[in-house]
Amino acid sequence: DVKVTQSSRYLVKRTGEKVFLECVQDMDHENMFWYRQDPGLGLRLIYFSYDVKMKEKGDIPEGYSVSREKKERFSLILESASTNQTSMYLCASSAARQGSNQPQHFGDGTRLSIL
Amino acid sequence: GQNIDQPTEMTATEGAIVQINCTYQTSGFNGLFWYQQHAGEAPTFLSYNVLDGLEEKGRFSSFLSRSKGYSYLLLKELQMKDSASYLCAVRNGMGSGGGADGLTFGKGTHLIIQP
């Protein structure tokens, strides 16, 4: 079974802090993704990566950055946390295979509160 | 732009059949996914359609009409454990290929199963 592990289930930080959310997958997947999920808005894509050191902006990248130094690990960084970044953050990974229906596998999520 | 619509909430009876509809208007199309998400848990993959027609997997089936921008998820022999949110998501295929592009999600349909 695919295992996507997010380092924290719950996290509380203060406005202006630098926040790191970590995600590790154990299936040697090429692709990794960060989403946030908010009531009434659904899941929205922040950033994704298709290879080590490669990153692409998603639909809502403002206020975030990412790091992919190793294939299995994808980090989401809030450079200066703000209250509107309080949300559930979900990491996902998928295998790269052209023309194939590779689903994304999600971690359990990190519920981040910015005070 | 990207727009995916699905009903906010539906109620059905244990043992019955329910159909959850999804319509989409996206700048590209490279497959449609259905996910199930129980409260407080990660989304889990249910089905994938890229060609028109019906895909059946046990009690769950999913249908796609690309010309109409329409999909539905059909759940048969409903069980109480099917109470969850059901997420429709489109892969727009604008990325580098190999599935390395994120998904655009609908806001989800909260399905309530009554005894």
HEC string for B65-97: ECCCCEEEEEECCCCHHHCEEEEEEEECCCCCC
Residue B11 predicted with pLDDT over 80: yes
Q: Give the pLDDT of residue B98.
A: 46
pLDDT tens digit sequence for A12-62: 999 999 999 999 999 999 999 999 999 989 999 999 998 898 999 988 999
Would you place residue A76 in the very low, low, confident or very high pLDDT band (cuts 50, 70, 90)? Answer: very high
Taking the Cβ of residue B101 and every Cβ of chain A, the question of whether any pair is shorter than 8 Å is answered with yes
- Is there a contact between A30 and B42 if contact means CB atoms under 8 Å apart? no
Is residue B50 less than 8 Å (CB to CB) from chain A? yes
Residues A85 and A77: beta-carbon distance below 8 Å: no
The amino acid at residue B91 is R
